[in-house]
């Protein structure tokens, strides 16, 4: 009888261990990095230019469809909303679904469950991609309203980017037709505000609970002429957010890969890809040391119909051709590293990003 009991006990223990092994590992921290306008040709060009990409360290790779509710070729608003909410929407819409219904974003949910949250971009924080994580409007061009939602309603712990003009009235050098000083509103809500690169570099985050850093009136210049860099802001954001024992969610955008595509500027694509990849390196360095951080790198769409028709690996240069000054409807790559990365292997849709992040945020 004792032998039978021992066998049964051993079976129960082994079965329990097996079940635990099958449970998906949920990350404590999630870093979502969006290369706006980044397709495979842009990545190939970036690799030729840099020699080796940090992106190559990410061994889980997939492809995502990007169409919106009403268009085969998405824009950044619909593409980012699909990733931030897990729902498709119409082109130009922010944070709402195809029927115009407001949808919670992964950043908002992370806030709700007690995680720290951040946005790091090289554009105005009211622009389409960052706005899709913190605002809800029918048209991405409503940047006046987006700024007001950010200032009065959003609970994001950190913003690093540009666009202070959208937060100030014209009487104070801003773009607003009303009299609202939304930077003062945010200061009263506990944000420490910086607007100069030297303030960023000299910042001691020890006593800062919420951070708002806006380093240009609207958008910053192309790389490498902007300071701070995307990598520097990403590093600062991770240092800031990782103080939270409950974890964090951070969205980082390489915003101007897209703009170089719109300009059909092949040389600038190389510089923007290098800038974005440097930020990816910062995120991966943290994730490798931390062991409990998921890093996802993807794009909202491809821009320019970019193709590499010639080049030189030894000279680190490419010859690029474009078929459009707008977006294209091709699938975009997704790369993942860390706990939960395997969910992004193979073919999927851009809504997979939001759905999986929501799943990982569930306690």
The verdict on whether residue 225 carries a ligand-binding annotation is: no
Copy the structure tokens of residue 59.
Answer: 């061994």
The verdict on whether residue 300 carries a ligand-binding annotation is: yes
Other CB atoms closer than 10 Å to residue 110's CB: what's the count? 28
- How far is the CA of 331 from the CAs of 10, 22, 28, 67, 300, in angstroms? 49, 31, 29, 9, 10
Angle at 86 between CA 83 and CA 90, to 5 degrees: 80
The verdict on whether residue 127 carries a ligand-binding annotation is: yes
Residues 6 or more apart from 116 whose CB is under 8 A from it?
A: 110, 157, 158, 240, 241, 243, 244, 246, 247, 248, 249
The verdict on whether residue 301 carries a ligand-binding annotation is: yes
The verdict on whether residue 262 carries a ligand-binding annotation is: yes
Cα separation, 42 vs 87, whole angstroms: 27
The verdict on whether residue 36 carries a ligand-binding annotation is: yes
| Catalytic residue flag (residue 76) | yes
Options 18, 44, 68, 76, the catalytic residue: 76
Copy the structure tokens of residue 205.
Answer: 């985050």
Instruction: Provide Rg for the chain, Cα atoms.
Output: 21
The verdict on whether residue 126 carries a ligand-binding annotation is: no
The verdict on whether residue 129 carries a ligand-binding annotation is: yes
Our measurement of the distance from residue 207's CA atom to the centroid of its chain's CA atoms, rounded to an integer in Å, reads 26
Q: Strands 327-328, 302-303: parallel, antiparallel or unpaired by DSSP?
A: antiparallel
> Could you tell me which residues are annotated as the binding site?
36, 127, 129, 253, 258, 262, 300-301
> What are the catalytic residues?
76
> Could you tell me which residues are annotated as the binding site for Mg(2+)?
36, 127, 129, 253
> Could you tell me which residues are annotated as the binding site for Zn(2+)?
36, 258, 262, 300-301
């Amino acid at each position: 009888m004792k032998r039978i009991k021992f066998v049964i006990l051993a079976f129960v223990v082994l079965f329990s261990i097996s079940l635990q092994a099958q449970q998906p590992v949920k990350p404590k921290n999630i870093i979502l990095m969006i290369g706006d306008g980044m397709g495979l040709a842009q990545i190939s060009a970036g690799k030729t230019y840099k020699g080796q990409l940090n992106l190559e360290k990410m061994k889980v790779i997939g492809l995502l469809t990007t169409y919106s509710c009403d268009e085969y070729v998405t824009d950044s608003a619909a593409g980012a909303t699909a990733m931030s909410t897990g729902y498709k929407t119409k082109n130009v819409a922010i944070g709402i679904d195809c029927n115009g219904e407001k949808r919670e974003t992964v950043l908002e949910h992370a806030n709700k469950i007690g995680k720290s949250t951040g946005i790091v971009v090289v554009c105005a924080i009211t622009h389409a991609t960052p706005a899709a994580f913190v605002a809800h409007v029918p048209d991405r061009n409503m940047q006046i309203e987006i700024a007001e939602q950010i200032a009065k309603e959003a609970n994001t712990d950190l913003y690093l980017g540009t666009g202070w003009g959208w937060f100030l009235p014209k009487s104070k050098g801003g773009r607003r037709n009303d009299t609202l000083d939304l930077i003062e509103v945010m200061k009263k809500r506990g944000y420490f505000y910086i607007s100069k690169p030297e303030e960023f570099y000299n910042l001691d985050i020890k006593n800062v609970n919420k951070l708002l850093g806006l380093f240009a009136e609207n958008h910053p210049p192309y790389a490498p002429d902007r300071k701070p860099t995307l990598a520097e802001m990403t590093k600062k954001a991770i240092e800031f957010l990782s103080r939270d024992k409950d974890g964090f969610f951070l969205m980082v955008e390489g915003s101007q890969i897209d703009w170089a595509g719109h300009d059909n500027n092949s040389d600038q694509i190389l510089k923007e890809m290098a800038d974005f990849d440097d930020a990816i390196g910062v995120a991966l360095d943290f994730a490798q040391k931390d062991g409990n951080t998921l890093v996802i790198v993807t794009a909202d769409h491809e821009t320019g119909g970019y193709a590499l028709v010639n080049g030189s690996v030894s000279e680190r240069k490419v010859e690029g051709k474009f078929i459009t000054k707008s977006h294209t409807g091709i699938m975009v790559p997704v790369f993942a590293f860390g706990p939960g990365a395997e969910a992004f292997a193979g073919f999927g849709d851009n809504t997979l990003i939001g759905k999986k992040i929501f799943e990982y945020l569930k306690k």
